[in-house]
Amino acid sequence: MKILVLTWEFPPRLVGGIARHVAELYPELVKLGHEVHLLTAEFGEAPMYEVVEGVRVHRVPVGWSHDFFHWVANLNESMGRHGGKVMLEDGPFDIIHAHDWLVGDAAIALKHNFKVPLVATIHATEYGRHNGIHKDEQRYVHGKESRLAYEAWRIIVCSDYMRRELERAFNTPWDKMDVIYNGIRPEKKPRWHDFDAWNFRRRYANDREKIVYYVGRMTYEKGVSVLLNAAPKVIWKMGGFVKFVLIGGGNTDHLKRQAWDLG
């Protein structure tokens, strides 16, 4: 198949987790014999066109703006224009694959203009990030997400939880969604054969204790505060033979206070 991908971030532009997701996914599709063209935003000195592990990366210029939503509109206008050019020059394409609402407008326009099926991967929702929709900005994003979910022929989510969240937030039909779990390419991860895992583990817990280990961004939507609130009950259930180890970047001051208050 020939696949056109739209994503607002791709290495070396790293904002959240989408860049890493797409950078790991599409080289594997190339290995399976598919041709992948990826549209993303320009970034620093990164070339406007390059081939990365078989993926043909097209970076598009984006008009600068103080306002994030205005910048996203500029991104979609540019992606729509450049995406149309790619589809005319390198097509026909079999599938358009969009990642999250930030590229939704361009993906939907290309779908209708070129009559190509649209698949959307929805990594998170505004509803889930804020436990509901409460402000005008959230309503705006929610509306964009809802339209992308409606326009997509199929939707990919990375967990059963997200499948239920989309059903609740957008009334998305259950059988329109497919759960494909995230994974890694182990050949890209260095392994030290002389690494002493047990000695490393003993930095955090003794051999009798279990470890609850979190690695990720310290943001609300990752649920770190929920994990901390659950810790006292888990510790009690385990008879005290458990340690919680949380590692990640971001503002951790409020989480440290929460952990301190919980004892």
The Cα 60–Cα 68 span in angstroms is 17
Residue predicted with more confidence, 184 or 206: 206
Q: What pLDDT score was predicted for residue 22?
A: 97
User: Does the structure show a pLDDT above 90 at 240?
Assistant: yes
Which of 97-106, 133-142, 149-158, 188-197 shows the lowest per-residue confidence on average (mean pLDDT)? 188-197
CA distance 96 to 91: 11
Q: Which domains does the chain have, with CATH numbers?
A: 2-179 (3.40.50.2000), 193-262 (no CATH)
Predicted confidence band of residue 217 (pLDDT cuts 50, 70, 90): confident
pTM of the entire predicted model: 0.87
CB 90 within 8 A of CB 3: no
The beta-strand segments (E) located in the chain are 2-6, 35-41, 49-52, 55-60, 95-99, 118-121, 154-157, 177-179, 210-215, 242-247
pLDDT of residue 56: 99
Q: What's the distance, Cα to Cα, between the start and end of the chain in Å?
A: 55
pLDDT tens per residue across span 150-178: 999 999 999 999 999 999 999 999 999 99
Mean predicted lDDT score pLDDT of the chain? 95
**What is the distance between the alpha carbons of residues 101 and 149, in angstroms, rounded to a whole number?**
9
